[in-house]
Amino acid sequence: MQSTVTPTHCPYCALQCGMNLTPVPDGTVEVSERADFPVNRGALCGKGRTAAAVLAREARLNSPLVRDEGGSLVPASWDEALDRIAAGLGGTRARYGPDAVGVFGGGGLTNEKAYTLGKFARVVLGTSQIDYNGRFCMSSAAAAGIKAFGLDRGLPFPLEDIPKSGCVILVGSNLAETMPPALRFFTELKENGGTLIVIDPRRTKTAEHADLHLAPRPGTDLALALGLLHLVIAEGRVDEEYVRERTAGWEDARAAAMAHWPEYVERITGVSVPELRETVRLFCEPESAMVLTARGPEQQSKGTDTVGAWINLCLATGRAGRPLSGYGCLTGQGNGQGGREHGQKADQLPGYRKLDDPAARAHVAGVWGVDPDSLPGPGRSAYELLDALGTDIRSLLLMASNPVVSAPRAAHIEERIRSLDFLAVCDVVLSETAALADVVLPVTQWAEETGTTTNLEGRVLLRRRAITPPEGIRSDLEVLHELAARLGVEKGFPTDPEEVFEELRRASAGGAADYSGITYRRLVEEDGVFWPCPAAVEAAGEGADTLPDAPAGQTPGVHPGTPRLFLDRFATADGRARFVPVSHRAIAEEPDEEYPVLLTTGRVVAQYQSGAQTRRVAELNAAAPGPFVELHPRLAARLGAAEGDPVAVVSRRGRAVAPARITNAIRPDTVFMPFHWPGEGRANTLTNPALDPTSRMPEFKACAVRLEAVRR
């Protein structure tokens, strides 16, 4: 047993809090405070504090499982399980062609795994059908960021800038529950005299900290942002010089905003004109201000336009690309940022390159040692891929995701998964999706392996191995190596994470998310490096002239990383940010007589994503044992429901039942359900898979439902 303390990072959310791990005799670790990591300064939420519980043998998968003739999952040797997967995927490919094989990844995979999974899909399987669950997370913010700034990095500035800003508008983020240690940046903002405005249909724990809380109808954030921009223009608060010098496309965006009169916006959103005016005043008066979005505005069938409208507000007021100001997205999953940069997304190659760009294909194919023409083109987005299971896609390899609980219209997706010819799942626990597989492989976890993640700030971090994995467990990289060999590709799939990272550096060089100047050694010495970080002057070649002077204490010629983006220019061809003209449109499914109430979904502090891991932690389960339906007293009275009574929520896609939680903290026209649980109370049974036309994000955040009392 190793006895030293290992500094590393939490396995859960995108904050990637620093923590120390000490091995303990039962083979797991003790988690302790690590005060020197600047993001969380030692603070951890309950999920992070109890993260070691999932390392215990009783909580996890300990052996490969295969489905026997009787239909049960039974233990098997690694060779048998890997042979079956190779036969399942290879057989489908031989019979139906490569695109009949699908690959589904996750935003929790390390950069090395996400990179290798994308390479495996395209080089070994030859399939275009790969996407990942991050598509359900922040893909509309990513799409809007690329449209406006030419680049998507969740936050273009470090979290430490937030307390020094003059005003922050937080749109659709309940970070007091999703990432509690981040709350201090906002409480410090207020202590420093700054203003916090929270926009959320619910008076959440985060909203309780706000100076001003606006509670719009779910799905109307786009109209809200347009109304604010209208007032900015009408009140003469546009930063004309900035708009002239640093942006393009203003006139069209201006015209679109002017069509959204405050009174019209009040009717759409339920936010009053005086509240709109006050928001504009608070946002425009300070020298610096930010808008930060999260899943609320992003998980909509118009998510890209909604985020675009908030970016337009930042551009018109001269906020983006200025100190202590700008637009940022609070990414959710542990490696939600890195997971979308290195090739597990349907349309992407490593380095945040586009799969349909001939130069990008040539560069990455060169690193991979393959013919660029052999690489498939872009494939289906996550929901479309899942929806094609059992029809166009006959076999699936799935890693680190649990769509049976987390996908929209989940009962339908579960049915599609059950109709597959073959399903293989790599996971640490027997999730609801893994339980449907033909083969399940038990893989190593955060504390048992080394690898990099990229947090919501774009800070690349090294998670370090603190303990040896138990016997019978292998890493995802070993799995992909073994499968590649069985499918006829002997070389190019290393099992050592640092070796993979070295290849990723080369593959990302020159791309938008350039990691070529980052090494494991630097990540240890500097405790994280912000991308883009091109290689050193000697190796960088083109672009070497642009290296900034080395900061004090750093080696000349070594790029220091880029904590703050866009201060001089945006990442567009002409260096200007782009306004994108957008207009209000309704949600895909407005309430009507049959389904008169709006449903919105979200998270609770003690559970994470589909709950596959956190539902296995006793302390977290005790704190949040099951789903609930949050509703306003008026709605409860109409239904005749008292606190704790079972309530059925019915949408056009199905029915979910959970106890009533009655509160004034939600709008009377809206109910809320957290989505962490399977079974009767599965919130995603209800959600609408209407997709955003640009990002292909489903509409998780608003659909029409009716409520029914349940007599038991």
Q: Over 109-147, what HEC string results?
A: CCHHHHHHHHHHHHHHHCCCCEEEHHHHCCHHHHHHHHH
Q: In angstroms, give the least distance from the CB of 17 to ligand SF4.
A: 3
| 377 neighbors 355 (Cβ within 8 angstroms) | yes
- Specify the residue, 10 or 423, whose C-beta has the smaller distance to ligand SF4: 10
DSSP state letters, 656-671: EEEEEEE-TTB-TTEE
Measured at CB, which residue is nearest to ligand SF4?
48
Crossing angle for the helix pair 476-486 and 78-96, nearest 10 degrees? 50
Count of Cβ atoms closer than 10 Å to residue 25 Cβ = 6
Count of Cβ atoms closer than 10 Å to residue 522 Cβ = 18
Q: In angstroms, give the least distance from the CB of 307 to ligand SF4.
A: 22
- Specify the residue, 47 or 416, whose C-beta has the smaller distance to ligand SF4: 47
Q: In angstroms, give the least distance from the CB of 345 to ligand SF4.
A: 23
- Specify the residue, 16 or 600, whose C-beta has the smaller distance to ligand SF4: 16
- Specify the residue, 10 or 256, whose C-beta has the smaller distance to ligand SF4: 10
Q: In angstroms, give the least distance from the CB of 399 to ligand SF4.
A: 20
* Alpha carbons 266 and 322: distance in angstroms, whole number: 31
Q: Where are the beta strands (DSSP E) in 331-470?
A: 348-349, 353-354, 395-399, 422-427, 439-442, 451-454, 459-463
Q: Report the sign of the C-alpha dihedral through residues 129, 134, 136, 140, in that order.
A: negative
- Specify the residue, 13 or 243, whose C-beta has the smaller distance to ligand SF4: 13
Three-state DSSP at 616 gives: helix
Distances (CA, A) of 316 to 203, 245, 519: 29, 12, 39
- Specify the residue, 47 or 213, whose C-beta has the smaller distance to ligand SF4: 47
Q: In angstroms, give the least distance from the CB of 29 to ligand SF4.
A: 14
Q: In angstroms, give the least distance from the CB of 104 to ligand SF4.
A: 23
Of 117, 79, 172, nearest in space to 603 by CA: 172
- Specify the residue, 179 or 398, whose C-beta has the smaller distance to ligand SF4: 179
Q: In angstroms, give the least distance from the CB of 176 to ligand SF4.
A: 11
Three-state DSSP at 575 gives: coil
Q: Give the residues across from 631 on adjacent strands.
A: 662
Judged by the rule CB under 6 A, the positions of this chain that interact with ligand SF4 are 10, 12-13, 15-17, 40, 44-45, 47-48, 179-181
Q: In angstroms, give the least distance from the CB of 179 to ligand SF4.
A: 4
- Specify the residue, 176 or 704, whose C-beta has the smaller distance to ligand SF4: 176
* Alpha carbons 671 and 443: distance in angstroms, whole number: 38
Q: In angstroms, give the least distance from the CB of 46 to ligand SF4.
A: 7
- Specify the residue, 55 or 313, whose C-beta has the smaller distance to ligand SF4: 55
Q: In angstroms, give the least distance from the CB of 317 to ligand SF4.
A: 31
Distances (CA, A) of 176 to 13, 206, 538, 661: 13, 5, 45, 19
In the structure encoding, which two tokens stand for residue 300, read together? 């909509």
- Specify the residue, 48 or 296, whose C-beta has the smaller distance to ligand SF4: 48
**Buried b or exposed e, range 225-238, using 16+ CB within 10 angstroms:** bbbbbbbbeeeebb
Q: Where are the beta strands (DSSP E) in 201-244?
A: 212-214
Alpha-carbon torsion angle 399, 155, 209, 183, nearest 10: 60
Q: In angstroms, give the least distance from the CB of 195 to ligand SF4.
A: 24
- Specify the residue, 40 or 335, whose C-beta has the smaller distance to ligand SF4: 40
Q: Give the residues across from 454 on adjacent strands.
A: 460
* Alpha carbons 114 and 126: distance in angstroms, whole number: 16
Cα 384 from chain centre = 18
Q: In angstroms, give the least distance from the CB of 43 to ligand SF4.
A: 8
**Burial degree of 422 (CB within 10 A; 0-12, 13-18, 19+):** buried
- Specify the residue, 331 or 651, whose C-beta has the smaller distance to ligand SF4: 331
Examine residue 532 and say whether the peptide bond preceding it is cis (omega within 30 degrees of 0).
yes
Q: In angstroms, give the least distance from the CB of 182 to ligand SF4.
A: 7
CA-based end-to-end distance of the chain: 53
* Alpha carbons 211 and 197: distance in angstroms, whole number: 6
- Specify the residue, 17 or 704, whose C-beta has the smaller distance to ligand SF4: 17
Amino acid at 524: V
* Alpha carbons 173 and 575: distance in angstroms, whole number: 30
Residue corresponding to tokens 């909509």: 300
Q: In angstroms, give the least distance from the CB of 202 to ligand SF4.
A: 20
- Specify the residue, 47 or 319, whose C-beta has the smaller distance to ligand SF4: 47
Q: Give the residues across from 442 on adjacent strands.
A: 427
* Alpha carbons 72 and 65: distance in angstroms, whole number: 9
Count of Cβ atoms closer than 10 Å to residue 442 Cβ = 24
Q: In angstroms, give the least distance from the CB of 370 to ligand SF4.
A: 37
- Specify the residue, 44 or 410, whose C-beta has the smaller distance to ligand SF4: 44
- Specify the residue, 51 or 547, whose C-beta has the smaller distance to ligand SF4: 51
Q: In angstroms, give the least distance from the CB of 597 to ligand SF4.
A: 31
